[in-house]
Structure 1
Amino acid sequence: MKTCSATIKTNSDFNVIMNETSHSHEPLNTTEVEIKMQMEKCSKAVQENVSDPISKIFEENMASLEDRGLDLIKKLPALNSVQKMLYRKRNKSIGARKSTFAFEKILFADYAHGKTRILIFADNELKKYMATCKKFYMDGTFKVCPKPFYQLYTIHAELGSSQEYLNVIPVIYALLPDKKMSTYELLFQIIKSQITEWDPNDITVDFEVPAILAIRSNFPGVKITGCYFHFNRSLWRKAKALGVCKTQLGKIHVKLCAALSHLPSELVNEGWLYVMEEAPNSNCVTQFNDYFVKTWLENSVLADTWCTFRQMNKTNNVVEIWNGHIKKIY
């Protein structure tokens, strides 16, 4: 209590009370004290571990109190009641300033023709990376997209990553009415009309065919790399649907197929022949192999996209993580 004048005096070893004065209030609620102490630890943690999500830090700190009884659990604060406070403490610790902007300054383009409407947003300070960077990541998310739009599509630029640190930031945000090739082409053309220097060498996407075709149409010669996570997940989903994963040999076969992604593109066919020589002799594996050939080896759109050889970052997860943060805020 701030108004309490109680004091206690001990010896130098803190094991003998020399003098004390009484408290001027009722005993404090120990439950509230415990929660307050834990919140102080949580506040300290969000300032020290700036790369960890605040929601994760909060949950970890509160978890230590959840087994202390129902009375205490009922009094635990909800994340949404303390989230702003925790963000303020983190921002203060890293010297982040509150951002203010006008709508006109981030509106990159507002396209409207017939029933087609596209809104594109970009910060003036970040647009320069579209002209100077050569590696980009692209992806769309749907759950956070406001009506009448269909998806929020983002373009992220890589600003000099290393094996230890991935430095990728979102630079373009676009609200699109659908996921047609013509819409993606229009998006890229609008951006190129204002940033004529945009000339990427390498673009990582998932295996969305309309987006890949639009990229090839607008950037001839660009290297398109599909996300290894999506490639691997697609193989396992198909394998499980066909029953390939019911045996250990079947699982090994799927792993070998997924590993082909790490070979140089000129060695993929040779690697596939090796995998076929070792393949289990079963109807479900034969069906899986037919799927692999049709979808990944002989598909005119995807055949050259799933090789991740010498790619420092083989996935689109950095964009997926960003999408996840947007969903939490929305």
Structure 2
Amino acid sequence: MPPPPLQYEVIDPASQRGRVKLADDQGFTYTLYRSNDVTTTWRCSVRNKRETCLARVKQNNNDNTFIAGPQPHCHQPVPGASTALKVIADVKRKATRSIFRSAPSIVSEVLAEKCDGGPIDALPCIDHLARTANRKRQQMRRPHPRNLDFDIDNTFVADGFMRRDIRVRERRHLLFALPLMITLLAQTTRWYLDSTFKVVRAPFIQLFSVHAFVQSDGYIKQVPLAFAPMSGKNR
């Protein structure tokens, strides 16, 4: 009895560059090689300095059928490759649609939707998926300003988070704090001030922050409640 034909699925977008990929039910994945009005040719995605797989699949664009080429794969399949591609694609999509959600929470949600709880060999770890989400968001952002004369794109600022755009002579400072943060600061009797220089880039020089102790569910912790990227270091 001949083995059942392979099942193929086109997943868009799944690659690091946001391009479509093809996956079969054995655990092999393919990237787009060339396409015309009649056919689309896919080649195995294993192509690196150590190994180049020559396996290919031809897709008929009219009836959406797939025919594997004569060249076999020179490597073993990776179980769950199709599911892993779907997870990566969904993480990227949700990261661009929910830009104010944390990347780990998006990854956890996608994993709960796409995975049945069992291990998937082809799936990257949660930290790598979170970095994938953040890299996708970074592609959406405007280039970092070269000087202090720039416009603020409020698309990437949560409602009510930006409080002031302060200009003092040739200096410019931005103040960020959500309304709840302002309320918590007003309720505390002592503030703690901090400044750091490594997390900011020119034209800003330091990130000045205001901290306070906050109590929740019986626990007390010092948390930052206001942030100010500043273009100078004077007190």
When normalised by structure 1's length, the TM-score is 0.29
Which structure carries more strand by proportion?
A: 2
Structure of larger gyration radius: 1
Identify the structure with the greater helix proportion: 1
TM-score by length of 2: 0.39
